[in-house]
A = this chain, B = another copy of it.
């Protein structure tokens, strides 16, 4: 497993792989890896002969009041996990190499960033789109893999790739959960023991909404209200949003007609968690 720190060196390696008709799969991460990340890597290995993982806690996707400095880091642990999975190359740049003095170029994806996390984190997706574009240009992948827990991120990346004619296949992979149902996240590390129990209400709210949907409920407000009711039973939870929106445009909907997603963001103690559940279109959902 090679560890590469500099963008130019990484581009050189990518050119070398491509010049021998090799195929590059790429999994971008902010490190502090969990089973969710590892599932992306395993899927990546199936889809290419060279698997590149980046570890970079990207400052431009954190707001001024957010947890950039506290974000958990443990490169040694990450390194041994990546070796186990069979990662070929780790791209592990410094902030200074990614955003040198005078840096001033940003990407914005407009409509799909207005709702959900875009509301409470107004510059977040600008940072995500920008760093992913940089990483794509540095790593030159044929295929890139993203988790579905960050559902809006996946929609933003797909939209950006299509709009900007990036010749890269984007693969969304299923949410990986703890045995009790909590969606895996590096931020789960922040949770106290009590927080950890409260956090389960998020999955409970999603499951209950899904159950109602499968029982025939098509009124989005009814599903959102039921999810609110469940979350409100937990005093340790402060809702950021519960939203039922079109899975493509991420606009709120009134009635479920096409593929849609219930997305929840909530603070558990000081930790902001997100989770979601996709509802297939009524005529496709197995009931």
Contacts and interface: CB of A to CB of B under 8 A. Distances in A.
Interface of A: 7, 11, 15, 18-19, 21, 102-112, 129-130, 133-134, 137-138, 140, 159-160, 163-167
Contact of A11 (B112, B160, B163, B167): B167
Nearest to A21: B19
A95 to B, nearest CB: 14
A102 B112 CA distance: 10
B165 A7 contact: yes
Contacts of A163: 103-105, 134
Contacts of A109: 104-105
Quickly give the copy total for this chain: 2
Contact of A164 (B19, B110, B133, B160): B133
Contacts of A160: 105
A11 B104 contact: no
A171 to B, nearest CB: 19
Nearest to A106: B108
A98 B130 CA distance: 21
Ranked nearest first, the 6 interchain pairs of A and B with the lowest CB-CB distance are: A105-B163, A104-B110, A137-B165, A138-B165, A105-B109, A105-B160
B108 A165 contact: no
Contact of A159 (B104, B111, B159): B104
A137 B105 contact: no
A129 B105 CA distance: 10
Q: Which of A133, A134, A140 has the most CB of B within 10 A?
A: A133
Contacts of A110: 104-106
Contacts of A108: 105-108
Contacts of A102: 111
A90 to B, nearest CB: 17
A112 B111 CA distance: 26
Contact of A134 (B19, B130, B165): B165
